[in-house]
Each structure stands twice: as structure tokens, then as C-alpha cells.
Amino acid sequence: MRHAPLCSLFRSRWSLLAADYSAAMPEGDALHRAARRLQVLVGQQLEVETPHPRAAVKQLAPVLDGRRLESVEAIGKNLLMRFEGDVVLRSHLRMKGRWRVLPRDAELFGTPWLVLRGQDYVGVMSGGSVLELDRGVAGRLGPDILAAPPDFDGMVARLRAVEHSRALGDALLDQRLVAGIGNMWKAEALWSAQVSPWRALGDVTDEELHRALHEAHRKMKGRLDGMRARSQVYRRAGRPCPRCGGTIRSWPQGDGARMAYWCPACQPGEAPERSTGPKQP
């Protein structure tokens, strides 16, 4: 009996993981989906629990329990829940957090950070997240890439206001400039716009900035509306570019060392000399 080579099995498994990676790591579109689902709790007085010890010490349940939920809004990667009495709860899912909406009496597994129980449904947040009463963080965020309509001119203005030598890919992840874009959508949007993530902001035209931002919005809005598409460059270092056949490269970028992915052939510009092909983060 013949078996597929180990490297082929690894590549196949990696392709499946990469293709559905946005479902595993929350970005702006995931927060907007959560906000849509949580609308079933709006207008109701909620029973609030914080089962996880790291959430319980924040003493949020005594503040929120019994209050009416007035609105749920996603801004970038933040979810804002406004309760009666001008109380605003902010959650950020980090790398592995999740929001779920279940029937009210559904069995809950694990140790959730937050449980919001309404008349017919329960909202459950889990996964090592940020959970706190908002202290004005939302006011310091840039325009939301998934706003309706997006303020593209405002985003470009903020990008133009920072150091001109800063790399475009690094700037797009700065939530103070543009809220909601994560590492995967950065890579995919810049590839679609044919702009290198390594180009300095001062070297990028307004037209190129608008094109990259429009692509990020288009792709994220499509995922929010249920469209699924395979990644073109994200986590595909060393493979042929689906547009030109060049080799996709990867290299850490910015203070956070987030991995950038791009095709030097059709996204030209100065790039790290040691950028690699086959390695994956």
C-alpha cells in the first residue's frame, strides 16, 4: 500500500489551515459578525456572569447584572456594549477569543469570560480576551474599515500624518490610523492592490493608498457577508504567486514582528534581503 509523502501531507494540511485562517484568528470582520449575532439581546435586561477568574476579579458582573443592553457595536477589533446608565463594556478578542450566541438554556463548556443571559438567548465570550469598562479607547481608534460607508479620506489623512519613512504594511496594522485590519487582510489587500508592504508611506501615492484600503474593505465585507475565498499570499511563502508566478516571500515587520507576505515580482519595492520563501511562522 502506497502512502503520500510526508511533505505532501504537510502541505495539504497547511493549505487547509491557511485557507480558513481568518476563521481562527479574529479580525475586524469577526467582530462585526459577533455584533450582528448579539443584536438578539439588545433591549433586554440581562443576567451577567463572569465565570473565568481573570474576568471575575474585574468585578464587572455586579456592575452589569440586571441592566438593559441598549446597543452592540463593532469598531475595528473592539466590541462595545452599551448598557443603561451610560455604562459601556469593551471586549477585544486578541488572538483566540470568541463570541457565541446560543439558546438560553444551552450547556456551556469550558470557563467563559463573560455570559450574558437574555430571555431566549445567551451571549458567551471565551478565549483569553480583553474585557473592561470602556475608558475612551474607542475614541482613540482610527476610522473603521467596515463602517458604512467607510471614511477612506479620513484613513488616508491619518496615514499621511505619521512618519513618512514608516512601512505601509506596518502602518495598516496601527488601529489608531485604520481600525479593523489584521495581518491576514493586510497581506491580501496589498497583494490585490499590487503594493508592497515594505514601501515607505512617503513613497506611496494617495491613489495606491485608496486602492489598498478599498481592497481591504471589499475583502472583509465579503467575508462578513458569508463569502469564502482562499488566501492568495497569506501563509503561502515559497509558493508561486497566483497572479504572476513569482515566489511569495515572508519576513517579520514592525515592532510587533508580524509576518508580512508579498510577491516581489508584482508588488515591487525595497524589501529585506533575507526574506524567505519556504519557511512558515
- Residues 115-168 pLDDT 10s: 999 999 999 988 767 888 877 777 788 999 988 899 999 999 999 999 999 999
**Cβ(195)–Cβ(169) below 8 Å:** no
Q: Encode pLDDT of 156-199 as tens digits.
A: 999 999 999 999 999 999 989 998 898 999 999 999 999 999 99
Q: Are residues 71 and 169 part of one domain?
A: no
pLDDT reported for residue 274: 63
Q: Are residues 170 and 132 part of one domain?
A: no
Q: Are residues 185 and 133 part of one domain?
A: no
Is 267 part of a structural domain of the chain?
Answer: no
**Domains of the chain: total:** 2
* Cβ count within 10 A of residue 155: 26
Q: Are residues 238 and 120 part of one domain?
A: no
pLDDT reported for residue 2: 45
pLDDT reported for residue 97: 79
Q: Are residues 103 and 170 part of one domain?
A: no
Is 258 part of a structural domain of the chain?
Answer: yes
Q: Are residues 76 and 33 part of one domain?
A: yes
Q: Are residues 74 and 159 part of one domain?
A: no
Name the pLDDT band for 275 (thresholds 50, 70, 90).
Answer: low
Residue 18, classed as helix, strand or coil, is: helix
Lowest mean pLDDT among 4-13, 53-62, 136-145: 4-13
Q: What rounded mean pLDDT belongs to the chain?
A: 85
Is 1 part of a structural domain of the chain?
Answer: no
**Cβ(83)–Cβ(144) below 8 Å:** no
Last residue of one domain, picked from the residues 104, 139, 174: 139
- Identify which has the larger pLDDT, 141 or 267: 267
**Cβ(174)–Cβ(216) below 8 Å:** no
Is 18 part of a structural domain of the chain?
Answer: yes
Is 3 part of a structural domain of the chain?
Answer: no
Lowest mean pLDDT among 86-90, 169-173, 243-247: 86-90
pLDDT reported for residue 19: 38
- Identify which has the larger pLDDT, 45 or 73: 45
Handedness of CA 53, 59, 65, 71 (dihedral sign): negative
Q: Are residues 127 and 236 part of one domain?
A: no
User: Who's near 267: CB < 8 A, 6+ residues apart?
Assistant: 190, 191, 194, 195, 196, 197
pLDDT reported for residue 157: 97
- Identify which has the larger pLDDT, 93 or 163: 163
* Cβ count within 10 A of residue 3: 7
pLDDT at 281 over 50: no
What single DSSP character describes residue 107?
P
| Percent of the chain residues topping a pLDDT of 70 | 86
User: Who's near 33: CB < 8 A, 6+ residues apart?
Assistant: 224
Q: Which domain holds residue 167?
A: 142-262
pTM over 0.95: no
Q: Are residues 169 and 217 part of one domain?
A: yes
pLDDT reported for residue 273: 67
Q: Are residues 147 and 131 part of one domain?
A: no
Largest CA distance in the chain: 69
pLDDT at 77 over 60: yes
Stretch 237-259: mean pLDDT: 94
Q: Are residues 159 and 146 part of one domain?
A: yes
pLDDT at 44 over 70: yes
